[in-house]
Amino acid sequence: MNLNPVAERYSRQVLFRPIGSAGQEKLRQARVAVVGMGALGTVMATQLVRAGVGFVRLIDRDIIEPSNLQRQSLYDEGDAEAGMPKAVAAAQKLQLANSLVQIEPIVTDLTWRNAESLLSDVDVVMDGTDNFQVRYLINDVSVKHHIAWAYGGAVSSYGTTAFFRPGQTPCLVCLFGKDPGGGHDTCDTVGVIAPAVSMVASLQVVEALKYLTGNEQALASSLIHLDVWNNEFRSVHFGSANPDCPCCVHREFASLAVKTDSLTVSMCGRQTIQVRPQNPPQASLEQIAQRLQQVGAVRQNPHLLRCDLGDVQITLFADGRALIHGTDDEAKARSVYARYIGM
């Protein structure tokens, strides 16, 4: 018996009764955005694309480096050597896995300027980020435009995840307040192991699949915490939204309204500072590459250029944003940018 190639591809998933043929068709029509193509994002994007979600947007500001390969499952040594943008490399790998899915890579930093345009036209947003600043931005867009999103975080051997549905569950601000404050563990301070990442990402995806296929009665509706090293798994039911929540009750979208951009951001897990100037350079990447060839070795591809200055390296993107590698000093990073790129 010759099966339809599309039917054969998803046959095992369709046999799973809660999804079935009707659910598979809903997945084909669904649109999902993955914010952050690091450890969580690569696992989530792989599962979503292979499951047959019709449109997947991959958003990431970073490039691939050797330290990523321990847990970021879509990338290889060649990607790290070339310094490929994560979103672009991921899209290329995933398109080979499923040519039926439309995959849109976006190499950018998610900010108040672009969050609504990038996230408001999808059915679900998947959180693969490593900081609460961006998560609060996702939460604002979610509540404002009534879009579900899957929160997730993993460091060391533990992680936390939750699936938020505006009007049905509390929002992130209800759970953590307007400002979660500092002092959180990060992969830069306590490391992270891949099994914790995979577990959290898989829980995020399964909630998204339930939602997208119309199985909302199966959603966890809880904050889930796990520790794969110490064999712990806890689930805390959401309860009701905070009646005084400034976001989902009073509809104050603080992260969207802030209208300021951080000039520098320290990147998790390595000596790298992101610099985003208020006024991007007017020169093209080609023109800047020609200038930088006088001071260091330059490599360029359609998405970015890289210049090795010896003690530090510059990765410059077409929008003027740069990663300054080799320092944790924000003042030095700004100085390097000003000296070699101009600001």
Chain segment 44-103, per-residue pLDDT in tens: 999 999 999 999 999 998 889 898 898 998 999 999 988 899 999 999 999 999 999 999
Q: Do domains 5-257 and 264-340 have the same CATH topology?
A: no
Domain ranges within the chain, ordered by starting residue: 5-257, 264-340
Give yes or no for residue 36 having a pLDDT over 80.
Answer: yes
What is the token pair recorded at 70? 């321990």
In the numeric block, the tokens 């490399």 are attached to: 89
Q: Fold for 264-340, please state it.
A: TATA-Binding Protein (3.30.310)
Give yes or no for residue 1 having a pLDDT over 50.
Answer: no
Most confident of 247-256, 258-267, 282-291, 321-330: 247-256
Question: If pLDDT is split at 50, 70 and 90, which confidence band does 267 have?
Answer: low
Instruction: Say which range, 106-110, 145-149, 338-342, has the weakest mean pLDDT.
Output: 338-342
Annotated catalytic, 247? no
What is the token pair recorded at 228? 């794969």
pLDDT for 342 equals 79
Q: Which CATH number fits domain 5-257: 3.40.50.10540, 3.40.190.290, 3.30.428.10, 3.40.50.720?
A: 3.40.50.720
- The residue from 171, 174, 187, 245 that is catalytic is 187
Give yes or no for residue 16 having a pLDDT over 80.
Answer: yes
- With contact defined as beta carbons under 8 Å apart, do 175 and 211 qualify? no
Give yes or no for residue 197 having a pLDDT over 70.
Answer: yes
